[in-house]
Amino acid sequence: MSRIETILVTGGAGFVGATLVRRLVTSGYRVRVLDNLSTGDEAHLAGVDAELVKGDIRDVDALDDALADMDAVVHLAAAGSVIGSIADPVGNFETNVLGTFRVLDAARRAGVERTVQASTGGALIGDATPPVNEQSLPKPLSPYGASKLAGEGYAHAFAKTYGLRTVAVRFGNVYGPWCARKRGVLNVYFESLHDGVPLIIYGDGTASRDYVHASDISQALQLALEKDVPGGTVVHAASGVETPVALLADLCRQAAGLPDHPIEYRPARPGEVGRNFASYDLAHELLGFSPTVRREDGIPELWQWFKDQVFRD
């Protein structure tokens, strides 16, 4: 396997991408970013020594051009919302399934040996007794989860058929800086705290997720690039800690210094997983991955980032 020097990051102007690209550049790689800027922002990469190309992963010509002279690909570009996938399953399919297929096929044509792609844990596996792991049977509850399962299937097939060294990294619920365009629960809660409106909890507050910091996800992605593991490998990059949404709301209220801020309960929404957190044992065994950011530290740090970057008025 030749040494990796140049890396294409699709979706590299998004919030995970902004953290990953900084990490890769600091590590000495030459990085090119392909992003259609639908949810990413070129400002996320301001001052970073990386090439930004505006283009869409569904555009074959744009992919071929972006992959010229690249040694590896990290594929992050995606339609990432469970709720959005329920509202627009066709758009989710085109971005996540067709887009991932085209990234893999372009890598095959370009002779790129290593690909790493973003997948998901809870949305792909569905309702299962946590902690979930790589042996948990996939039963997605949403088009988003199904799209990520399809992407993993294509990665495995391309590894076995064409010899690509593919790795799919299943993310927990990622949080961290440069997330202002994301519509995750932390964004919604921070905006509600800032605007003085109640925090909304769907269901009874016991629904849980595995919240993992973008810096830990970036660590896992870089390790997946660099380590010699078989093509078709799938690993969970997670915190291994279960956080019920009621506790998450409390952590957000505490971070904002508003421990008595009101909470409003509403009926649970269809397509969303109940309890979920993941074991990262295999990622630790194969890649040497271990999360480093505790939610008790990361959530207050993110609140400060929102105050500095989003709530400046």
Tokens encoding 157: 């097939």
Tokens encoding 190: 């921070």
Strands (E), the chain: 6-10, 30-35, 51-54, 72-75, 114-120, 165-171, 173-175, 199-202, 208-209, 211-213, 233-237, 243-244, 263-266
User: What b/e readout covers 195-207, taking b as 16+ CB neighbours within 10 angstroms?
Assistant: eeeebebebebeb
CA dihedral 131, 199, 78, 72 (to 10 degrees): -60
DSSP strand pairing (243-244 vs 208-209): antiparallel
Q: Which of 144, 175, 189, 280 is catalytic?
A: 144
| 208 SS3 class | strand
Residue type, 153: G
User: Is 175:188 a contact under the CB 8 Å cutoff?
Assistant: no
CA-nearest of 259, 283, 70 to 170 is: 283
Active site residue 144: yes
Could you give the residue numbers annotated as active site? Answer: 144
